[in-house]
Structure 1
Amino acid sequence: MKALVLAGGAGTRLRPITHTSAKQLVPVANKPILFHVLESIAEVGIVEVGMVVGDTEDEVRAAVGDGSRFGLAVTYLRQSAPLGLAHAVVIARDYLGDEDFLMFLGDNVVFGGVGPAVERFREHRPDAQLLVTKVADPSAFGVAELDGDGRLLRLEEKPANPRSDLAMVGVYLFTPAVHTAVGAITPSERGELEITDAVQWLLVAGADVRVLEISGFWKDTGTVADILEVNRRMLEAVEPAVLGEVDAESRIVGRVRVEAGARVTGSTVVGPAIIGAGSVVSGSYVGPATSIAEHCTIRDSGIEGSIVLARSVFDGVRRVESSLVGRDVEVTAAPIVPLRHTLVIGDHGRVLLPPTTLGF
């Protein structure tokens, strides 16, 4: 079995971050989302991975390399434009050959991995196996309608009036039968070849299409709120450790990881949180669900429930919450006093914020 990982797409809902960075490389718990996907693939014993890339190919290549760091062999497959998930299968046809494959969207996170799903597929080997889960707003996803015995009746892509609350998770398992299906469908109204249409074609053709409902946490990290939620949950599983320096005037509370080379002085860090290698936190408060990447400076500031990417600086800023901050950003104080700030800042940004005397 091979794996097909989709790491293209524009990530429009994450702009301005994705103006300068691939959405799959936004870190949660200081590790790119794509790395979590590749680790899940390696855990099920798959070695050969086709990586579908687009305009951010150079950045993805630089981050992933040949895949050996994950125990994988990665082959890059260029997609000229984001023309749909089924189109990714089309361009990967020669790479996949006649092997079964796991297709995994590179910006999706499945807590607990995909081991049970892959094991079930290997045991029964249906033509297609879909993962689904209950969601509050199924109209934003591909939706699966089942009969009373749990058999798949039909699929719809982002329906205005969903027939069920079961959304398709961005993990699919296929035999080579899917290649006939993607060759038979036409572009949707969105101008894309939808994998939902391909699976529906298989279903109508009498193929064996099965559904596996997962109960664990899953997220399509397409928005800032989604990424912050995944970051929080990932941090809850981080192994706490103080590998850097924490002075006697500082307090470390709860599940906190201070990486090697990081320094915490005169500060309070409340977990779950992570302070990246080479970062300095001084006279500050870092609250729960916060990831500070490598070589950042947090000085006389308060931040919580946020992700701060590499080499960014907060100086005299109180209080920042629920924010996603890009690389090489500087956030400093200005003369007026708002109570709170919520930020989404692209790479190399410069933001001037007022100081406050209200504390953290």
Structure 2
Amino acid sequence: MKTIQAATYPVHFHAKSYLELSNLIAKKNYSTIFILVDENTIEHCYPKFIPNLSTNKRIEVIEIESGEINKNIETCIGVWNAITELGGDRKSILITLGGGVITDLGGFVASCFKRGIDFVNIPTTLLSMVDASVGGKTGVDLGVLKNQIGLFANPEMVLVDTTYLETVEEREIKSGTAEIIKYGITYDVKLFNEIRSNKNLKISDLIYRSIEIKNEVVLQDPKEKGLRKILNFGHTLGHAIESFYLESEDKENLTHGEAIAIGMVCECYMSSKLLDFPAKKVAEVKEVVVSIYTKTNLLKEDFTAIMDLLKHDKKNVNGQVNFVLLKDFEDFKLDCKVSDELIIESMAFYNS
């Protein structure tokens, strides 16, 4: 696959990516290579990765606990302390080997350590391949509030090797699929139609096109002043739902993609009421979501708590929740104001 050139870094694929990483390490003469993993990637991905890394530099592995619940500043402090104790300096490099939590948190850690060291993202889940590892966003959660602390920082490169997907469960593949659906609905309906028809799906092609789309959007709007906001479709309400399930002791956590899928259905419904998005297409999106994801019953008594979390969304301005809504597939409107009543009505629609 041809390398995709982002603003300041390349996205390499498969065998070429390891050669390019080894060349980078030799060229920049890093003092130490730190590799950030969790308990899953140290067992399943690290043994695959390390034989492909050609270097005589010192390698140190730092392991954190997996899961969104550990994507916080306390984990960052632990990683910063580990890098310090292991002799990290400004000529060190951090390689993130894992899913979205690892790439988001690792990029943030690297960007802040000694005011910034180089980092490379190696995503190992579908979600991180098509979304988290590309685009220059890094950060952590504040309590259950998603991505409240962070900054824009670009890696030296991103390496995409789809064979890592063999190490993840089907639920994680489905989680990443939600982001591909988002790209299809907002930017390239061919992607949505391919998933909807479920015929001759080539995951590598879906990944490549998704990265192309995200890169095209980010190149035009790196700091999310306009066009890049379309990448938030489904995420405004979806993040609130994800946070609610994360903080609920009596409910099983939702994956990011499961929550975003619900958010997309709800935001399509809002679009139909405010922008005349065709009801037939709302039904198509809901049909696809329900066919892929186990239906989550959003309890009516939980709506108020979800609404409270929605008001903390990082994209809000002056306390106003802003949505990306659709007039049609590939035809969107930014910064839409939606009443609380319609938001609640949309969740009831998802339940119906």
Q: TM-score, normalised by structure 2?
A: 0.26
Larger Rg: 1
Structure number with higher helix proportion: 2
Structure number with higher strand proportion: 1
Q: TM-score, normalised by structure 1?
A: 0.25
